[in-house]
Amino acid sequence: MHIPDGFLNNGLAGGLLAGAVAMLSYCFSKVLSAVTVVSKKLAGNNNATLSQSFPGLSSNAGGYFRKLALIAIWVFACQMFNITVASATSVHLLGGVFAAVLAGPFAGFVIMSSVLTVQSLFFADGGFLALGANIVNMAFVGSFLAYYVYKAVAKKNYYLGVSAACFFSVLTAAAFCLIELGFSATVSFNEAFKDMMSLHFLFAVVETILTVIMLKLFKSLGADNE
Protein backbone atom coordinates (compact mmCIF):
# COMPACT_ATOMS: atom_id res chain seq x y z
CA MET A 1 0.00 0.00 0.00
CA HIS A 2 3.07 2.25 0.19
CA ILE A 3 2.95 4.42 -2.92
CA PRO A 4 6.40 5.04 -4.49
CA ASP A 5 7.49 8.32 -6.06
CA GLY A 6 6.35 8.82 -9.63
CA PHE A 7 3.03 7.04 -9.15
CA LEU A 8 1.03 10.21 -8.38
CA ASN A 9 0.74 13.44 -10.32
CA ASN A 10 2.50 16.38 -8.69
CA GLY A 11 -0.63 18.36 -7.88
CA LEU A 12 -2.29 15.50 -6.02
CA ALA A 13 0.92 14.52 -4.21
CA GLY A 14 1.54 18.13 -3.12
CA GLY A 15 -2.02 18.67 -1.94
CA LEU A 16 -2.05 15.47 0.11
CA LEU A 17 1.37 16.30 1.60
CA ALA A 18 0.13 19.73 2.70
CA GLY A 19 -2.96 18.18 4.27
CA ALA A 20 -0.88 15.51 6.01
CA VAL A 21 1.51 18.10 7.47
CA ALA A 22 -1.38 20.21 8.76
CA MET A 23 -3.06 17.18 10.35
CA LEU A 24 0.23 16.01 11.86
CA SER A 25 0.82 19.43 13.43
CA TYR A 26 -2.66 19.41 14.96
CA CYS A 27 -2.39 15.84 16.28
CA PHE A 28 1.11 16.44 17.67
CA SER A 29 -0.16 19.48 19.57
CA LYS A 30 -2.95 17.33 21.04
CA VAL A 31 -0.41 14.70 22.10
CA LEU A 32 1.76 17.32 23.79
CA SER A 33 -1.23 18.88 25.56
CA ALA A 34 -2.04 15.47 27.05
CA VAL A 35 1.26 15.45 28.96
CA THR A 36 1.65 19.19 29.61
CA VAL A 37 0.93 20.76 32.97
CA VAL A 38 0.98 24.43 33.92
CA SER A 39 2.73 25.35 37.13
CA LYS A 40 2.52 28.73 38.83
CA LYS A 41 5.41 30.59 40.37
CA LEU A 42 5.05 33.55 42.70
CA ALA A 43 7.28 36.52 42.05
CA GLY A 44 7.50 39.27 44.66
CA ASN A 45 7.84 42.89 43.59
CA ASN A 46 7.97 45.17 46.63
CA ASN A 47 4.52 44.84 48.15
CA ALA A 48 2.98 43.24 45.09
CA THR A 49 2.95 39.51 44.43
CA LEU A 50 2.71 38.32 40.85
CA SER A 51 1.73 34.85 39.68
CA GLN A 52 3.38 33.56 36.52
CA SER A 53 2.41 30.38 34.66
CA PHE A 54 5.03 28.02 33.25
CA PRO A 55 4.03 25.09 31.01
CA GLY A 56 6.02 21.87 31.35
CA LEU A 57 5.82 18.12 30.93
CA SER A 58 3.96 16.10 33.54
CA SER A 59 5.64 13.47 35.69
CA ASN A 60 4.21 10.63 33.58
CA ALA A 61 5.41 12.09 30.25
CA GLY A 62 8.42 9.76 30.08
CA GLY A 63 6.30 6.65 30.47
CA TYR A 64 3.76 7.97 27.98
CA PHE A 65 6.37 8.58 25.27
CA ARG A 66 7.99 5.19 25.94
CA LYS A 67 4.59 3.62 25.38
CA LEU A 68 4.19 5.47 22.06
CA ALA A 69 7.68 4.39 20.98
CA LEU A 70 6.94 0.76 21.83
CA ILE A 71 3.70 0.87 19.83
CA ALA A 72 5.57 2.41 16.89
CA ILE A 73 8.12 -0.43 16.95
CA TRP A 74 5.32 -3.01 16.80
CA VAL A 75 3.63 -1.17 13.93
CA PHE A 76 6.93 -0.97 12.05
CA ALA A 77 7.45 -4.70 12.51
CA CYS A 78 3.92 -5.51 11.31
CA GLN A 79 4.44 -3.58 8.09
CA MET A 80 7.71 -5.34 7.22
CA PHE A 81 5.86 -8.28 5.64
CA ASN A 82 4.24 -7.33 2.33
CA ILE A 83 3.16 -8.84 -0.97
CA THR A 84 3.61 -6.99 -4.26
CA VAL A 85 0.49 -6.49 -6.36
CA ALA A 86 1.42 -6.35 -10.05
CA SER A 87 -1.56 -4.19 -11.03
CA ALA A 88 -1.15 -1.74 -8.13
CA THR A 89 1.42 -1.36 -5.32
CA SER A 90 1.63 -3.83 -2.43
CA VAL A 91 -0.40 -5.44 0.35
CA HIS A 92 0.69 -5.49 3.98
CA LEU A 93 -0.56 -5.19 7.53
CA LEU A 94 -1.18 -1.67 8.86
CA GLY A 95 -1.29 -1.66 12.66
CA GLY A 96 -3.34 1.54 12.67
CA VAL A 97 -6.17 0.21 14.82
CA PHE A 98 -3.69 -1.29 17.27
CA ALA A 99 -2.00 2.10 17.66
CA ALA A 100 -5.23 4.09 17.94
CA VAL A 101 -6.95 1.78 20.43
CA LEU A 102 -3.93 1.82 22.74
CA ALA A 103 -2.92 5.47 22.37
CA GLY A 104 -6.00 7.29 21.06
CA PRO A 105 -6.69 8.77 17.60
CA PHE A 106 -4.29 11.72 17.82
CA ALA A 107 -1.31 9.74 19.11
CA GLY A 108 -2.24 6.94 16.70
CA PHE A 109 -1.96 9.36 13.78
CA VAL A 110 1.42 10.65 15.03
CA ILE A 111 2.72 7.09 15.49
CA MET A 112 1.65 5.96 12.02
CA SER A 113 3.00 9.14 10.40
CA SER A 114 6.34 8.70 12.17
CA VAL A 115 6.65 5.08 11.05
CA LEU A 116 5.79 6.00 7.45
CA THR A 117 8.31 8.86 7.46
CA VAL A 118 11.11 6.62 8.76
CA GLN A 119 10.26 3.96 6.18
CA SER A 120 10.31 6.52 3.38
CA LEU A 121 13.55 8.27 4.39
CA PHE A 122 15.68 5.32 5.53
CA PHE A 123 14.20 2.17 3.98
CA ALA A 124 12.96 3.39 0.58
CA ASP A 125 9.53 2.00 1.46
CA GLY A 126 7.15 4.54 -0.04
CA GLY A 127 8.27 7.64 -1.89
CA PHE A 128 9.15 10.92 -0.19
CA LEU A 129 7.00 12.94 -2.58
CA ALA A 130 4.20 10.41 -2.06
CA LEU A 131 4.57 10.55 1.74
CA GLY A 132 1.52 12.77 2.10
CA ALA A 133 -0.65 10.25 0.27
CA ASN A 134 0.68 7.37 2.36
CA ILE A 135 0.04 9.31 5.58
CA VAL A 136 -3.50 10.16 4.49
CA ASN A 137 -4.21 6.54 3.53
CA MET A 138 -2.62 4.71 6.43
CA ALA A 139 -2.45 7.25 9.28
CA PHE A 140 -5.59 9.32 8.73
CA VAL A 141 -7.91 6.69 7.24
CA GLY A 142 -6.17 3.59 8.61
CA SER A 143 -5.78 4.83 12.18
CA PHE A 144 -7.49 8.14 12.97
CA LEU A 145 -10.85 7.48 11.26
CA ALA A 146 -10.74 3.76 12.12
CA TYR A 147 -10.58 4.69 15.82
CA TYR A 148 -14.05 6.26 15.63
CA VAL A 149 -15.41 3.16 13.91
CA TYR A 150 -13.99 1.18 16.84
CA LYS A 151 -15.53 3.54 19.40
CA ALA A 152 -18.96 3.43 17.77
CA VAL A 153 -19.15 -0.36 17.49
CA ALA A 154 -17.27 -1.19 20.72
CA LYS A 155 -20.16 0.27 22.72
CA LYS A 156 -22.02 -2.94 21.87
CA ASN A 157 -19.09 -5.36 21.82
CA TYR A 158 -15.35 -4.71 22.23
CA TYR A 159 -14.15 -7.46 19.88
CA LEU A 160 -16.72 -6.54 17.26
CA GLY A 161 -15.50 -2.96 17.49
CA VAL A 162 -11.87 -3.99 16.93
CA SER A 163 -12.89 -6.23 14.01
CA ALA A 164 -15.01 -3.55 12.34
CA ALA A 165 -12.23 -0.99 12.75
CA CYS A 166 -9.61 -3.35 11.28
CA PHE A 167 -11.71 -4.13 8.20
CA PHE A 168 -12.53 -0.43 7.75
CA SER A 169 -8.87 0.49 8.20
CA VAL A 170 -7.39 -1.95 5.70
CA LEU A 171 -10.10 -1.89 3.03
CA THR A 172 -10.78 1.86 3.07
CA ALA A 173 -7.08 2.72 3.05
CA ALA A 174 -6.62 0.38 0.08
CA ALA A 175 -9.55 2.00 -1.70
CA PHE A 176 -8.09 5.48 -1.13
CA CYS A 177 -4.78 4.25 -2.53
CA LEU A 178 -6.49 2.92 -5.64
CA ILE A 179 -8.47 6.13 -6.14
CA GLU A 180 -5.27 8.20 -5.96
CA LEU A 181 -3.48 5.91 -8.41
CA GLY A 182 -6.47 5.89 -10.74
CA PHE A 183 -6.79 9.69 -10.59
CA SER A 184 -3.10 9.95 -11.51
CA ALA A 185 -3.68 7.52 -14.43
CA THR A 186 -0.96 5.23 -13.03
CA VAL A 187 -3.20 2.16 -13.00
CA SER A 188 -6.64 1.32 -14.23
CA PHE A 189 -8.95 1.44 -11.22
CA ASN A 190 -11.22 -1.28 -12.63
CA GLU A 191 -8.34 -3.62 -13.46
CA ALA A 192 -6.54 -3.19 -10.15
CA PHE A 193 -9.63 -3.23 -7.93
CA LYS A 194 -10.11 -7.00 -7.86
CA ASP A 195 -6.47 -7.84 -7.10
CA MET A 196 -5.98 -5.05 -4.57
CA MET A 197 -9.21 -5.43 -2.63
CA SER A 198 -9.34 -9.25 -2.60
CA LEU A 199 -5.84 -9.48 -1.15
CA HIS A 200 -6.54 -6.69 1.33
CA PHE A 201 -9.68 -8.49 2.46
CA LEU A 202 -7.54 -11.49 3.39
CA PHE A 203 -5.05 -9.20 5.13
CA ALA A 204 -7.92 -7.55 7.00
CA VAL A 205 -8.76 -10.94 8.51
CA VAL A 206 -5.12 -11.43 9.54
CA GLU A 207 -4.94 -7.83 10.81
CA THR A 208 -8.01 -8.38 12.99
CA ILE A 209 -6.61 -11.55 14.56
CA LEU A 210 -3.17 -10.04 15.20
CA THR A 211 -4.63 -6.80 16.55
CA VAL A 212 -6.76 -8.67 19.09
CA ILE A 213 -3.75 -10.77 20.13
CA MET A 214 -1.43 -7.76 20.46
CA LEU A 215 -4.01 -5.72 22.38
CA LYS A 216 -4.47 -8.61 24.82
CA LEU A 217 -0.70 -8.93 25.15
CA PHE A 218 -0.22 -5.25 25.87
CA LYS A 219 -3.05 -5.21 28.39
CA SER A 220 -1.71 -8.30 30.15
CA LEU A 221 1.71 -6.66 30.44
CA GLY A 222 0.17 -3.39 31.60
CA ALA A 223 1.87 -1.53 28.77
CA ASP A 224 -1.41 0.20 27.89
CA ASN A 225 -1.45 1.96 31.27
CA GLU A 226 2.03 3.48 31.26
Q: 3-state class of 56 per DSSP?
A: strand
Q: Helices (DSSP H) in 81-188: which residue ranges?
A: 96-103, 105-122, 131-135, 146-154, 158-183
pLDDT by 10s per residue, the chain, length 226: 789 899 999 999 999 999 999 999 999 999 999 888 665 555 555 555 555 565 677 778 888 999 999 999 999 998 887 777 655 566 788 999 999 999 999 999 999 999 999 999 998 888 899 999 999 999 999 999 999 999 999 999 999 999 999 999 999 999 999 999 999 998 888 888 888 888 889 999 999 999 999 999 988 877 665 5
Distance, CA of 7 to CA of 88 (rounded, Å): 10
The total number of residues shown for the chain amounts to 226
What letter does residue 79 receive in the DSSP assignment?
A: T
Q: Which CATH code, of 3.30.413.10, 1.10.1760.20, 3.40.50.1000, 1.10.10.10, is assigned to 10-225?
A: 1.10.1760.20
Q: Where are the domains of the chain?
A: 10-225
Cα atoms found within 13 Å of the Cα of residue 218, Cβ hemisphere only: 20
